[in-house]
Structure 1
């Protein structure tokens, strides 16, 4: 096998499993470990991976921070698939939480069509405004506090204190990204992350709502680990190594 072919195959393995080990690659390609280390060094210089002790990991994309008004216009059809799945999980007489998320905006719109009797608690202004048009079967509660204009919702200590008084049957939480291999779930704003963590702690069952592409990007602030949630609702299944990690942590993939 030529060097270029080996380098491409190393990247294929890395993209599938998220990490590689020098010892395993040495055996696979029947070359010395020093040869593999040189390969990894070359790929790192090309910006293709990040070397670690004994191997290498993917360089993950950093998610971009946009205002809610801009994010609402992106991936509408994909987010609608997720919203439809979420609505099917909500049962009559449940109390649910919808946090700051463009997918949750679509869930709120879908709730307008249901006859189920639901109490919806939210810290997002747009969700509250949407559900203000709902029939009497929907009770709306707003977790107010300090308004974050870019997120169009309430975050901070007073919001968190309000949330702590509840025990939600189900919560639906948005995220900027999830790294299945280091098990972290991220967002951008620290205060938003603390509020998300508070919602999780106050929920009997937590669903992460996110597009499949977010398995490969990260935000700046880790607000939870994957074993803090119960399930992930997404538009399509990720690759098998990610599925294996989720199953090993008893995370349902919907």
Structure 2
């Protein structure tokens, strides 16, 4: 087997499982552990992985801040799949929170046709614009407008949220790092709002496209085990399932 071929297979395993061990790779390819370490060095220089003790983990993509209008049509099918699964969780009479997330937009579009009685509380402008034509009881959270992200954040927003208690909250994420037990967003102001919602909700669900496990944000706002559940667009790999199991989080895929 050529060196390049072995390195490509190592990278494929990283993409599937999120991490690899030198000892396991040495046995799998019937080569020395030193040779595997050299392979990992090459892949790390290419920005494909990050070496850790005894092996390596998949390198995270540092997602740059984008406007909500730029992001809402990216991975649209994945967001629609997440929205369908999230809607099924809502029960009659629930008070739910939808935060500033492009997946929340897809949820709002589906909620228009829902016949279940519920109350939707949100700080996202586009969600309000969609639900204004529905029969749903809607409460809008104001405050300081973040123009780029189409919603309200800051101290005034948090003061309004602080008076509510939610049956279920659905929060977007920019990136998830399983190894560091970290859930990230773009900016501190949005992070503080999300953290407050988490503390005021009986069940909080992460709206998480599968690619978010390979991305990082600028600011950690929660740990994975702070959430009740994670809603993903498609089946996760066995490796991701194994890693998530340690956090005792309900995975809906």
**Is residue 2:192 matched to residue 1:167?**
no
Tell me if the contact between 2:83 and 2:110 (Cα under 8 Å) persists in the aligned partners.
yes
CA 1:99–1:8: 2 relative to 1, 3 Å: same
Match of 2:9 in 1: 9
Measure, in 1, the Cα distance between the counterparts of 2:98 and 2:82: 14
Measure, in 2, the Cα distance between the counterparts of 1:103 and 1:54: 37
Match of 1:213 in 2: 211
CA 1:26–1:196: 2 relative to 1, 3 Å: same
What's the offset of the Cα at 1:161? Answer: 2.2
CA 1:77–1:31: 2 relative to 1, 3 Å: closer
Greater shift, 46-55 or 152-161, is seen at 46-55
Measure, in 2, the Cα distance between the counterparts of 1:39 and 1:109: 47
Measure, in 1, the Cα distance between the counterparts of 2:5 and 2:78: 35
CA 1:67–1:4: 2 relative to 1, 3 Å: closer
What's the offset of the Cα at 1:41? Answer: 2.0
Which of 144, 147, 153 does residue 145 from structure 2 map onto?
A: 147
2:222 aligned counterpart, secondary structure:
strand
Measure, in 2, the Cα distance between the counterparts of 1:47 and 1:242: 21
Give deviations 1:206-252, integer Å, cap 9, x for gaps.
11113222222221211111101111122211211111222332222
CA 1:193–1:33: 2 relative to 1, 3 Å: same
Tell me if the contact between 1:18 and 1:181 (Cα under 8 Å) persists in the aligned partners.
no
Give deviations 1:136-194, integer Å, cap 9, x for gaps.
xx221112111111111111122112212211000011111212232211111111111
Give deviations 1:102-131, integer Å, cap 9, x for gaps.
111121122211221111111112212222
Q: How does the TM-score come out when normalised to structure 1? A: 0.90
Match of 2:227 in 1: 229
Which of 219, 240, 250 does residue 238 from structure 2 map onto?
A: 240
Alignment coverage as a number of residue pairs: 252
CA 1:51–1:93: 2 relative to 1, 3 Å: same
Tell me if the contact between 1:183 and 1:225 (Cα under 8 Å) persists in the aligned partners.
yes
Tell me if the contact between 2:58 and 2:214 (Cα under 8 Å) persists in the aligned partners.
no
Tell me if the contact between 1:143 and 1:162 (Cα under 8 Å) persists in the aligned partners.
yes
Unmatched tracts of structure 1, length 5 or more? none
Greater shift, 161-170 or 58-67, is seen at 58-67
Match of 2:133 in 1: 133
Unmatched tracts of structure 2, length 5 or more? none
Match of 2:122 in 1: 122
Tell me if the contact between 1:143 and 1:154 (Cα under 8 Å) persists in the aligned partners.
yes
What's the offset of the Cα at 1:40? Answer: 2.1
